[in-house]
Structure 1
Amino acid sequence: MTHDSLFSTAELETVPLFRFVPLECIEGILAHCTAQELPRGERFEPDGPLDRSLSVLLSGRLALHYDVRETNDPLFLEPGDIIGETFSAGEPGVPCLLVAAEPCRVLVMEEDLIWSLAQASHAAACNLLGILLRRRHDPSRESFAGTAREYALHDQSIVDPLTGFQTRRWLEGVLERQAGRAASSGKPLSLMMIDIDHFRAFNEEHGRIGGDRALHAVSKALRNYLRPTEVVARYGGDTFAILLPETGVATARMIAERLRQRLTNTVIDIHDGRMLPPLTISVGVAEAAVGSDSLTLLRGALEALDAAKASGGNAVSG
């Protein structure tokens, strides 16, 4: 890890979530996580809903008390435990209380960063799935099994099955949070909207299989080219949205132009002996203005996309 990282390699290597994960590959994600320090005797108070973030105990021990009353015989969380699991696994309808039994450090990863982690590292995605499944099949954790089923149903509405990216519904929540974060920190935030040029005609000529292969090609290019901290969603149809935290519009335009060039040279194999023609894309880019909200940023990026398409396509505007 870099010298200015919030988290040391030694403490991260004790976390099951990061087992077999090359930490240098997720430095950008970890840089956006936060560290919460708890002195002995202090209660753990999450900043928001636990289903919108993931909190991992890095060091120390947390005493778990049910029914928000401190007892003489609590359960203990050890380094590497995911705190959100404990709250979800409590008795139905019975609130829990977590108190630092000794000084603790907690890594907090927000929802959008969790998805970025899963996209950036196959090992991390498998680790998280394994943690969930182990809890689900533990007879003493029946309440968590119900929570896992609720997550699965929730995921169906926020993950696009064709591309593996999140959906417009998910993006809108993340966009609002990121816009608020940018406004409070004063750091830039840009949004990129992408359309595949003449996609309807492409579908008519090459059929649904060809259209799906085209969407796969764009998804693969986005996944391979962008950094893990850049949030990608399928906005609808052949439209993709890319959220670029801490990125000004000039840099966003440069990224968009390189992505446009990359896709122009992509050959699509339809796996039946045919090779489809290369794609072109139109890209609209906008930066959040001081004091503006997420809807204004989205509207600006969509207007820039319309301008790129009106110019004949295969262009970047904004």
Structure 2
Amino acid sequence: MGAEELATRFFEAGEARPALNAGELGTLAASRLFRGVARERLLERLKPNGEVSLRPGAVLLEHGQRNANIYLLVAGRLAIFLDDDARIPVAHVEPGECVGEISIIDDEAASASVVALEPSRLLVTNAAHLWELMADEPAVALNLMHILAERIRRNNVAVLESYRQQAQLRTISTMDPVTGLHNRRWLNDMFIRQIDRCARARLPSCLAMLDIDRFKSVNDSYGHQAGDRVLAQVARVMLKQLRPSDLIARYGGEEFAVLLPETALPAAVAALERLRLAIGQCQTAIAQRATIRVSVSIGIAQWREGWSLDELIQAADRALYDAKQAGRNRVMLAQESA
């Protein structure tokens, strides 16, 4: 920041302060900070310690900078940024508004950066004078409380919106757009959590790998849009047939993974047999007046002490391979679980 961008002058003791013109006085008198203070009283009690002139782009306050003054904007426009690298301001400062007051109240460094958007002029008042002014004019203290409360509320709204956006991004990053199921990224986190929970409670858990039989021929014969419809239909049947506590994810391609927590092998086999039959009975519309049915092959493995998620998936995947080799459209157990 060059000297030509910002000019600050502090008044010497006994030096005559430059008079506010009628427009500037009217701006301050009408501001929220001085609401309820008569113009005559404001002219008498407001004793700035200096003035600042800013060119566009000049930085008045930097995030983390120590500050002992409150700045009253009498002309121009400022922007507030949460840090030096931010490109979008979180707020704007208009004539009659102030900045720097938080640093005075909590005696901490500036919580944001303040930059001029256009040629601006500000009056500078130090902490001691601000406290005197509030003691003499209680309305100023009350107004400042209202201003700070509004800023806190506005910041809370901004933080909440940020949390919502982050949650949406997390959801997008862990969802499969074709099926509406969670994806492999989510699986790698949530499956491990549930397996660990069951292990700590000494409860069984089973994992199944499910593959749509001859799915490539569906894509080759009817196109990828038809293939997507089949994937989505299989996902809907899985959500309907399995328990809310069961975890379902699209593993990749035409393959799905299902974790059945707190479930021993016999119950898991029964649940997945019901699922296999339900998928086989379901028809998927692929074109006008045209429907197809698909079957699925399923491999199941029960978690064993000391196994990682990858080892559990590999065991279920080997069982899935055995189901394919045995003629498809069946449920097979991993040899480790048999």
Deviations 1:228-268 (Å, cap 9, x if unpaired)?
00111111111111110110112111111111111111111
Distance change (3 Å), C-alpha of 1:138 and 1:204: farther
CA distance in 1, matches of 2:321, 2:264: 20
Give the TM-score of the pair, scaled to structure 1.
0.55
CA distance in 2, matches of 1:148, 1:309: 44
- Match of residue 182 from structure 1: 198
CA distance in 2, matches of 1:265, 1:138: 55
- Match of residue 185 from structure 2: 169
Tell me if 1:313 matches 2:328: yes
Q: How does 1:265-276 map to 2 (within 5 A)?
A: 265-270=281-286, 272-276=288-292
Q: How does 1:149-298 map to 2 (within 5 A)?
A: 149-270=165-286, 272-276=288-292, 278-298=293-313
Unaligned segments of structure 2, at least 5 residues: 1-110, 112-152, 334-338
One-letter amino acid of the structure 2 residue matched with residue 256 of structure 1: L
Tell me if 1:302 matches 2:314: no
Give the TM-score of the pair, scaled to structure 2.
0.51
User: Alignment RMSD, CA only?
Assistant: 1.8
CA distance in 2, matches of 1:233, 1:248: 20
CA distance in 2, matches of 1:214, 1:225: 16
Distance change (3 Å), C-alpha of 1:254 and 1:138: farther
Q: How does 1:63-212 map to 2 (within 5 A)?
A: 140-212=156-228
CA distance in 1, matches of 2:271, 2:167: 34
Deviations 1:272-314 (Å, cap 9, x if unpaired)?
22222x1010000010012322222111111111111111211
Distance change (3 Å), C-alpha of 1:159 and 1:138: farther
One-letter amino acid of the structure 2 residue matched with residue 316 of structure 1: V
Deviations 1:118-162 (Å, cap 9, x if unpaired)?
xxxxxxxxxxxxxxxxxxx97642112122222222222200111
One-letter amino acid of the structure 1 residue matched with residue 278 of structure 2: R
Matched-pair contact (CA < 8 Å) for 2:180–2:232: no
Matched-pair contact (CA < 8 Å) for 1:197–1:314: yes
Matched-pair contact (CA < 8 Å) for 2:222–2:286: no
CA distance in 2, matches of 1:249, 1:290: 15
Matched-pair contact (CA < 8 Å) for 1:307–1:317: yes
CA distance in 1, matches of 2:270, 2:313: 19
CA distance in 2, matches of 1:271, 1:222: 23
- Match of residue 31 from structure 2: none
Matched-pair contact (CA < 8 Å) for 2:195–2:261: no
One-letter amino acid of the structure 1 residue matched with residue 248 of structure 2: V
Instruction: Quote the sequence identity (%).
Output: 34
Matched-pair contact (CA < 8 Å) for 1:191–1:243: yes
- Match of residue 23 from structure 1: none
Matched-pair contact (CA < 8 Å) for 1:180–1:293: no
Q: Which has the higher contact order (CA 8 A, sep 6+)?
A: 1
- Match of residue 131 from structure 2: none
Deviations 1:30-75 (Å, cap 9, x if unpaired)?
xxxxxxxxxxxxxxxxxxxxxxxxxxxxxxxxxxxxxxxxxxxxxx
Matched-pair contact (CA < 8 Å) for 1:183–1:291: no
Q: What secondary structure, in the 3-state scheme, does the structure 2 residue paired with 1:270 have? A: strand
Q: Larger Cα Rg: Structure 1 or Structure 2?
A: 2
Deviations 1:80-124 (Å, cap 9, x if unpaired)?
xxxxxxxxxxxxxx9xxxxxxxxxxxxxxxxxxxxxxxxxxxxxx
The Cα shift of 1:271 comes to: 5.1
Q: What secondary structure, in the 3-state scheme, does the structure 1 residue paired with 2:223 have? A: helix
Deviations 1:184-233 (Å, cap 9, x if unpaired)?
11100000110000111111011112101111210111011111001111
Q: What secondary structure, in the 3-state scheme, does the structure 2 residue paired with 1:269 have? A: strand
